[in-house]
Amino acid sequence: MLMNRMETVLVNSPPRRWLQRYEARVLTALGGRTPGARVAELGCGSGYGTRLILDEFGAARVDAVDLDPAMISRARHRLRRHTGRAHLARGSATDLRSAFHDVGGGQNGTYDAVFDFAIIHHIPNWREALDEVARVLKPGGRFFFDEVTATALARPTYQVLFDHPSEDRFTAGEFLHELSRHGLDVGERWRTRIGGDYLLGVATRQ
Ligand SMILES: C[S@@+](CC[C@H](N)C(=O)[O-])C[C@H]1O[C@@H](n2cnc3c(N)ncnc32)[C@H](O)[C@@H]1O
């Protein structure tokens, strides 16, 4: 589901970039860096997270997808100096084979890591995105996630300011349960923030 105007403005703002640097530090503390890795990024937005994955996590290459063509254009501009290391595609996180078909990405067991910076809660059938994460990760590959839970989405600020799917949202516990059902082992490598509103963690593909 696409973001509304208010969320688009916020996601493209300096405070979001500051927050995303903080999230990247938490994820690194929980799951380490990804030097030399081939990575898929779900819902890359304006590409700031893609740049962090390349420059801070040390990935060799990122295949990034977003539903919104305007965000893909922004990401292309942001990553213009990373030619050959970032492939940006318009498509859905629920069908990575189609999104990355032109670069041979999105096949079973292609990636060393998958990143989700605050996007799966935008997907109505969010379990299908986890199907894809589990399918495209190599055994031992890592899933880095930073999610907005049903607890946050029920708050008046979220209800008034933003548009999200209204049904079947997940709590932190439900998301963690679904990871383990998909063979994504998170163990103790997860944290919540602000009373369960936000969930960050790193799971390993069994
Ligand atoms: C809250 S923004 C997060 C953007 C960026 N990852 C960040 O952390 O700033 C959610 C993004 O997910 C994208 N999105 C929503 N549904 C999607 C889907 N099914 N597949 C891929 N991207 C999707 C939106 O277009 C938007 O860019």
Please count the other Cβ atoms lying within 10 Å of the Cβ belonging to residue 148.
20
3-state secondary structure 192-206: EECCCCEEEEEEEEC
Output the residue whose Cα is nearest ligand 1's atom 24: 2
- Cα–Cα distance for residue pair 64/129, rounded to 1 Å: 14
Write out pLDDT tens, residues 81-94. Answer: 998 999 999 999 99
Ligand 1 pocket, 47 CB below 6 A?
no
Residue ranges per domain, the chain? 5-205
Q: Which fold has domain 5-205?
A: Rossmann fold (3.40.50)
Ligand 1 pocket, 3 CB below 6 A?
yes
Ligand 1 pocket, 23 CB below 6 A?
no
Ligand 1 pocket, 96 CB below 6 A?
no
Write out pLDDT tens, residues 38-92. Answer: 999 999 999 999 999 999 999 999 999 999 999 999 999 999 999 899 999 999 9
- Cα–Cα distance for residue pair 183/165, rounded to 1 Å: 26
